[in-house]
Amino acid sequence: MPNKLMRMTTVSSLFLLVLLISACAPPVAKIKVSRTEVKPGDPVTVSWETKNAKKIEVNGEKVEKIGAKTVTPKQTTTYEVTARRGSKEARDRAEITVTVVRPPQPTITLKAEPSAIDLGRNTMLRWQANNASTVTISGLGEVPASGQREVSPRVSTTYTATAIGEGGNATASTRVTVTDPAPPPPAPEKPKPAPEPPIAEQFRNQVRPVFFDYNKTDILPEGKEQLRRIADWLNLERNRQIVFRVEGYCDPRGTSEYNLGLGDRRSRAVKDFLISLGVDDSRIEIVSFGNEKAAGTDEGAASAPPSWAHDRRAELIYVRGGER
């Protein structure tokens, strides 16, 4: 019995000794990271482990004795675990280095082909930008990152291209020189046209007498062809205001009264034929002189013409109008 009591006393003493040693042991703290060098936004696992501590913090945040969390630091950061028990404390640190990679600087080129033009001509602008989100050209506004555009400046102009991106901005310029074209050589002077003759003279140059057979009023074929040419000239737009007179004549044979009537019928025949060809009747006056102005001689006479055939005619005489 005494031996058993002694063994129990010994065990109790050892247990109390262990408790006393544990109560006096200092805290222990360890912290580590899954990666020590990352880029901004990359995930990293931070884990820690402590012993003999009652209060544990990681960067001021209360945590369990053992744990882990995922962080995404934007800049270089130190993570520290603190383990405390009473007045005793343990610390450990781990640093994550964040490497900031700057975006590439934009670049841009701009040129004009050709760079010198005459006024009114065109030139081609060509550009190429890299690492840019926005590209603008003065006078054109926003444009694609690369391309070409035809322009026609009226004065010498400097075009500036600007490229903007995450890495900053860049510019490029080109100048287009505009010159006035050389004046064309003076045109050779055209000879002045000869002055137009008076309309009355032009009329006389166009018309010819219309001749008739003895005691006839029928217009002969050659007379009709002649009147057609006259009508074409009279119907020209510039000649539509001309007023003229058709005079009927006869040879001296027959009475004066008969020849007046015959001359009238001859002048009317000419008038009616001209009207049929489109000449307005208001432009045509008629008169008969019969044999009053006959100047011919007998066809059988040996004397020189004019003969009686010359007296059997109708004359077209300019009266007024058509002046230019």
Q: What is the pLDDT of residue 127?
A: 92
Q: What pLDDT is recorded for position 40?
A: 87
Contacts of 306 (CB under 8 A, 6+ apart): 295, 296, 297
- Omega cis (within 30) before 198: no
Please report the pLDDT score of residue 324 as a whole number: 67
Q: Hey, which bits of the chain come out as E strands?
A: 28-33, 37-38, 44-51, 55-58, 61-62, 66-71, 77-85, 88-98, 107-113, 116-118, 123-130, 134-137, 141-143, 146-151, 157-165, 168-179, 210-211, 243-249, 284-290, 313-320
Among 92, 98, 65, which residue's Cα sits nearest to residue 79? 92
3 state DSSP class of 229: helix
- The answer to whether 6 and 55 are in contact (CB under 8 A) is no
Residue 264: helix, strand or coil by DSSP? helix
Nearest to 211 by CA among 239, 248, 243: 248
Closest CA to 108 of 131, 129, 126, 132: 129
Tell the residue number behind the tokens 């280095």, with chain if given: 97
Q: What is the pLDDT of residue 177?
A: 92
Q: How far apart are CA 272 and CA 286, in angstroms?
A: 11
CA 297/CA 207 separation, integer angstroms? 24
Q: What single letter denotes the amino acid at residue 221?
A: P
Terminal Cα-to-Cα distance of the chain (whole angstroms): 167
Tens digit of pLDDT per residue, the chain (324 long)? 556 666 666 656 565 554 555 556 899 989 999 999 998 888 999 999 999 988 999 988 899 889 998 999 988 999 998 999 988 998 999 998 988 878 899 999 999 999 888 888 899 999 999 998 899 998 888 999 899 999 988 888 999 989 998 888 899 999 989 888 777 888 888 888 888 889 999 999 999 999 999 999 999 999 999 999 999 999 999 999 999 999 999 998 889 999 999 999 999 999 999 999 999 999 999 999 999 888 776 655 545 556 788 899 999 999 998 886
Within 10 angstroms of residue 73's Cβ, the number of other Cβ atoms is: 19
- Residue 259 phi, psi (nearest 5): -70, -30
Q: How far apart are CA 218 and CA 159, in angstroms?
A: 87
Q: Which residue, 188, 83, 176, is CA-closest to 138?
A: 176
The pLDDT value recorded for residue 189 is: 85
